[in-house]
A and B are shown apart, each in its own frame.
Chain A
Amino acid sequence: MNNIISIRNVKKQYHLGKTIVEALRGINLGIEAGLYYSIIGPSGSGKSSLLNIIGCIDVPSEGKVVLQGRNIEGFTERELTRIRAEKIGFIFQNFNLNPILTAIENVAIAMRFIGKSKKICLQNARAALDQVGLSHRTNHYPNELSGGERQRVAIARAIVKKPSLILADEPTGNIDTKTGHEIIRLLRKINEKQNTTVIQVTHDLEIADLSDKLFKLRDGVIVD
């Protein structure tokens, strides 16, 4: 099995004042390269916590996350940042586009963190926007775009650096159903054409059914 990420007995606790919230209670799973995954489960089941740990933007309280054969516990902050910059593309539910940057600048900035020149970044950003069907909206600011268009810009930002893994946290959560399905079709196309592993968190079973593998989470554990 060609696992790009292995998760072993991962637990995550949060401190909300004096209360300890157990978001993940011992997760074990392996992510194979090139597949399309969905993580489903009710609110508070730990889906986003798991995605954040896989994406190296959070660390587990217990357990191991093995990335490229190494436990991420052994990575320095700089190494984790480099992995996020080069290998992982993030797509958020609420887009998280920078309001002061145009669509092309929002996409290009993700490439600048891997040290590419401004010219190369803009060239690749234009190509990525073209790939998501937004070549006519390159110089628009996020507040000039519809929800679906904003999410396409976010997808372009995630794919511009050609990552091996795309993490999408409820990518259709803030858009209508029709646009939501278009977004998922787009992600699926990227997954198939570029062999990019995609892990998405969703509530929508119809969308989840389009994936290769499905993890069902409840109360911080995988139940199916």
Chain B
Amino acid sequence: MFDYAIKNILKRKTRSVLTIIGIMVLINLVIVISGIVSYQKRVMHEHASAGVGKIMVQSMLAGINYPTASINLKESLADEILNRDDIQDPISGKVIYWQIEPPPYPNEPPQLLITGVEIGKEAAFTGSISHQTRAAFGSANFSNSIFELPIIMGHQAKQFLEGKQRKQFNIGGGFKLLDTNFTVIGFLEPSSDKVVNNSLIIPLSIAQKILEKQEFISSVILFPQRIDDKQYIIEDIRQKYPKLNLVTDDTISRNAEEGIKLFEQMVGAISTVVILGAAILILTVMLITIKERTREIGVLRAIGASNKIVISSILWEIFILSAVGSVLGGLISGIVLRYFLLENLFNFWHILKYMPLAVVLTLVSGIIPAIRISRILPVESLRYE
């Protein structure tokens, strides 16, 4: 009865197209939502791993976020904290964070931010215990810069601005930021730390000046001399400065996990509503479709079609519609994930994993009305108008 199902689909074009669109929308929503979730989880894990080995000290008001949105830690206090022998001096320093563009998704760092770092201690911000983000072009530090107002662009920050301003940035070229004309001295290679990627890095003193936050910073970054010193440093600072917050890779991980959990719960709830809504919609469409074919099924039964034939013809039809809807939904999801989000979230296996969902959902929704209608006595179906 496969050919009969195909004929039915082709002859009832409006209904077939609407059913396919419904299934397409369902599969598209589920794939895109779950694609964003898995991307979020990856980002959060990367974000958490980026701070391995770092200890960040910031004010109570600044909380335990990385990067913090506040610039209210006194620089003199920061200098006092930095004045110890058990940290690596060149990669420990003061930083300022200032958001320019908000995060694209919840629990993410800002899409574009200014990061002020001490000259000569850029690696305190751009490095981790195992990795140092180097310059893809130009320089990754300000020490040798001949320019008065130098700026280093994170990988993603450069791409974001080039897309937004529709122009290419070059080493030695000008860039206006908060009414100040900077000179681009370097572009960083991609980093596993999204904050680094999204940053426009400028010298700390210039950041303080243009943000009118002289003598204040956001955070102090400390790298222990030896990894075993980390716990001692944390406890020592907590004891000496009980009013300050300490952010470590553990804190970031915990925050990320909580963020992921909350996000998953939220998206789980949305997905459940979407799937339930879609299941009810599909069930209703199937009930109407099958009901309107009661007489046709009655005739088929009267001239000798068995229950099995009737059910198989309906299920073939449902299967074809849902398969076409799933494939088209998968294709559109792929295009959305590849081209219409801020980042390329396309993942073939991820899309393939969700495509059978609509087929199963539709078949389950269709099987009950199909069995019910096939069991009606032919004479009752024939009387149906």
A97-112 CB contacts (< 8 Å) to partner B: 98-101, 105, 109-110
A74-119 CB contacts (< 8 Å) to partner B: 77-78, 81-82, 84-86, 88-90, 92, 96, 98-101, 105, 109-110, 113-114, 118
Q: Which one of A29-37, A53-61, A126-134 contacts B?
A: A53-61
Whole-angstrom distance between the Cβ of B128 and the nearest chain A Cβ? 66
B171 within 8 A of A: no
User: Are A113 and B377 touching (Cβ within 8 A)?
Assistant: no
Partner of A109 from B4, B11, B301, B302 at Cβ < 8 Å? B4
In the assembled complex, the Cα of A190 lies from the Cα of B12 at a distance in Å of 36
User: Are A58 and B377 touching (Cβ within 8 A)?
Assistant: yes
B302 nearest CB neighbor, chain A only: A57
A113 and B307 in contact (CB under 8 A), knowing A57-B379, A98-B296? no
Interfacial chain A residues near B299, Cβ < 8 Å: 92, 96, 98
User: Are A110 and B301 touching (Cβ within 8 A)?
Assistant: no
In the assembled complex, the Cα of A80 lies from the Cα of B381 at a distance in Å of 16
Q: How does the 8 Å CB contact mask read for B296-307 relative to A, with 1 for contact and 0 for none?
A: 100111111111
B330 within 8 A of A: no
User: Are B304 and A86 touching (Cβ within 8 A)?
Assistant: yes
In the assembled complex, the Cα of A77 lies from the Cα of B301 at a distance in Å of 11
B272 within 8 A of A: no
In the assembled complex, the Cα of A92 lies from the Cα of B300 at a distance in Å of 13
A77 and B307 in contact (CB under 8 A), knowing A57-B377, A57-B382, A98-B296? yes
Whole-angstrom distance between the Cβ of A141 and the nearest chain B Cβ? 9
User: Are A100 and B7 touching (Cβ within 8 A)?
Assistant: yes
User: Are B306 and A81 touching (Cβ within 8 A)?
Assistant: yes
A152 within 8 A of B: no
In the assembled complex, the Cα of A142 lies from the Cα of B4 at a distance in Å of 16
Interfacial chain A residues near B301, Cβ < 8 Å: 57, 81, 84
User: Are B303 and A113 touching (Cβ within 8 A)?
Assistant: yes
Whole-angstrom distance between the Cβ of A67 and the nearest chain B Cβ? 15
Partner of A55 from B8, B11, B302, B307 at Cβ < 8 Å? B302
B7 nearest CB neighbor, chain A only: A100
Interfacial chain A residues near B378, Cβ < 8 Å: 57-58, 84
Interfacial chain B residues near A82, Cβ < 8 Å: 304, 306
Interfacial chain B residues near A96, Cβ < 8 Å: 295, 299, 302, 382
A218 within 8 A of B: no
The dominant DSSP class at the A interface is: mixed
A90 and B302 in contact (CB under 8 A), knowing A57-B379, A57-B382? yes
Q: How does the 8 Å CB contact mask read for B332-345 relative to A, with 1 for contact and 0 for none?
A: 00000000000000
Of B3, B295, B304, B382, the most chain A CB neighbours within 10 A belong to B304
A157 nearest CB neighbor, chain B only: B303
In the assembled complex, the Cα of A118 lies from the Cα of B4 at a distance in Å of 12
User: Are B303 and A85 touching (Cβ within 8 A)?
Assistant: yes
Interfacial chain B residues near A59, Cβ < 8 Å: 377
A113 and B304 in contact (CB under 8 A), knowing A99-B11, A100-B7? yes
Interfacial chain B residues near A84, Cβ < 8 Å: 301-304, 378
B309 within 8 A of A: yes
B1-17 CB contacts (< 8 Å) to partner A: 3-4, 7-8, 11-12
Other than the given A59-B377, A82-B306, A84-B301, 20 more pairs (CB < 8 A) read: A57-B301, A57-B379, A57-B382, A58-B378, A78-B306, A82-B304, A85-B304, A85-B305, A88-B304, A89-B303, A96-B299, A96-B382, A101-B7, A105-B7, A109-B4, A110-B303, A110-B304, A113-B306, A157-B303, A161-B304
Please provide the 4 A-B residue pairs with the shortest distance between their CB atoms, ordered closest to farther: A85-B304, A100-B11, A58-B379, A113-B304
28 residue pairs from A and B, CB less than 8 Å apart:
A52-B379, A55-B302, A57-B301, A57-B377, A58-B377, A58-B378, A58-B379, A59-B377, A81-B301, A81-B304, A81-B305, A82-B306, A84-B304, A84-B378, A85-B303, A85-B305, A85-B306, A86-B304, A90-B302, A90-B303, A92-B299, A96-B382, A101-B7, A110-B303, A113-B304, A113-B309, A114-B304, A161-B304
